Amino acid sequence: MSQPLNEVESPWGIVRCDICSDGAALTIAFSSETFTFHAQWLHDAKCDTGTSRTAATAYCSKLTDARIIKASIRSTAVDLDLVWQDGTRSCLPALWLRAYGPLVGQQPSTTVPLQGTAPKGWLANTLEIPHVDYQDIFAATEDQCSIVAESVLDLLLMNPSTGIIKIVNLPPPDLEGEHSKSNTLVTQVLKKLFGSVFQHPRRTGEKTFNVSSHHEEDAKRAHGLPNYDTAQVLLPHVDHAHYVHPIQIQGWYGLEGESENTFVSGLRALQTLQDEAPDLYEPFVTSQMAVGRKVDYYSPPLRQGAVDSPVTFHPGSSTAVKRFRWHAHLTGSLVTPFDTFQLARIAHQKFQEILTRDSHLLRVRLRPGDLYVWNNFTILHGRERVLVTPRTGVGQTVPEQVVADRYRELKTKSLKGVLGEDWVVHMPSEVLFQAGELVRGQT
């Protein structure tokens, strides 16, 4: 069954739809792309009767026989009316369909899913770290703040992106206030962007952590903890590598002194490993290692450890990287079967060597008042040397769940008016991003 062409301007406007496979599938031609959906998927995923399912309507309780007997485009071209085989009706928003298309739909003339392309990241000489104005983060109205926060989260979380930003036009450093570690500048910025920050199991509340070259308290911490011993090189790593659930976002503020800090795109380093040593890729991403540390300055000492692979992929994908876990200083050893140990160890050495190449290692001179925020899942950070003492850096972090909830909140708000709130609830973050990009491209 065909519908006449409809004049539309938005990239998610529907120009044509065809029922196929005797109602078991629906091909939708948007003004930008064409996708074929399983009728059963459309029936399972639709939210026109709400987001919750009952025992009778749960997708896994239903028979797999959903079929479409009629499909019609509304005159606005941004809604699709369906009549199901049992006589019930649904109205599906076109933007929701178009944003989901690359993930669950089939495209003509290709069998390669759009999501299957591995991300590439950046090299040191090609990265331009985006600047975000502090005044914009704390804009006059909440609506303005939300727009800035949404663009920041897109930069930090979504591919292709840099995964790192620099906050500029900050107020001058407040040495006294920062040493209190409560409600410090980096905490204020991260709470404004994300809503809340990490609650350490032993530190009180939201206190920041300092890495210092001169404070007595911090000097005590240096014992056995490379990130606190500023006399030595700190190899590129992710923070919380020894946590079962590492934090996702990190902010780092230069309070006093100067240091040469480093950043590396984990995605690009992995791409280089795959390009140069394809035989090592699989041993690398599947290898297990034990990461842990004992912190004596807590009483009793805090002991934490995790066993994981260096790369975690998005669920169901073997190519889309979700997170790197890498901290050479805190990793004890590989935990791999006898037969795979040697190759896995060579792969780990190769990855470490790539991380420290000039081509991959971005060197940044961290001065007082500099504030960087990055995605700790994809960007590794380190320190080559302390240049001016006394030197203190101030850190704060944000957990993965806080980031995910905030991203959905911001996208729900920005899509309001073009996509009903219920339709947003189940959408994966990447699909929310695509929906936002479609709307942004139209305006």
Residues lying near Fe ion in the complex (CB under 5 A) are found at 227, 239
Closer Cβ to Fe ion, 31 or 227, answer by number: 227
* Distance of closest approach, residue 376 Cβ to Fe ion, in angstroms: 9
Closer Cβ to Fe ion, 94 or 362, answer by number: 362
**Residue type at 271 in one-letter notation:** Q
Structure-token match 């975000």, residue found: 132
Residue nearest to Fe ion (CB): 239
* Distance of closest approach, residue 236 Cβ to Fe ion, in angstroms: 9
* Distance of closest approach, residue 173 Cβ to Fe ion, in angstroms: 20
134-125-397 Cα angle (round to 5): 40
* Distance of closest approach, residue 259 Cβ to Fe ion, in angstroms: 12
* Distance of closest approach, residue 381 Cβ to Fe ion, in angstroms: 6
Closer Cβ to Fe ion, 43 or 293, answer by number: 293
| Bridge partners (DSSP) listed for residue 83 | 70, 89
DSSP 237-293: E-TTTTSSS--SEEEEEEEEEEEEEEEEEHHHHHHHHHHH-HHHHHHHHH--EEEEE
Closer Cβ to Fe ion, 101 or 393, answer by number: 393
Query: Which secondary-structure segment (H or E) carries 423?
Result: helix 421-424
Closer Cβ to Fe ion, 154 or 308, answer by number: 308
Closer Cβ to Fe ion, 222 or 410, answer by number: 222
* Distance of closest approach, residue 234 Cβ to Fe ion, in angstroms: 7
Contacts of 437 (CB under 8 A, 6+ apart): none
How far does the chain reach from its first CA to its final CA, in angstroms?
33
- How far, in whole angstroms, is CA 350 from its chain's centroid? 25
* Pairwise CA distance, residues 149 & 162, whole Å: 16
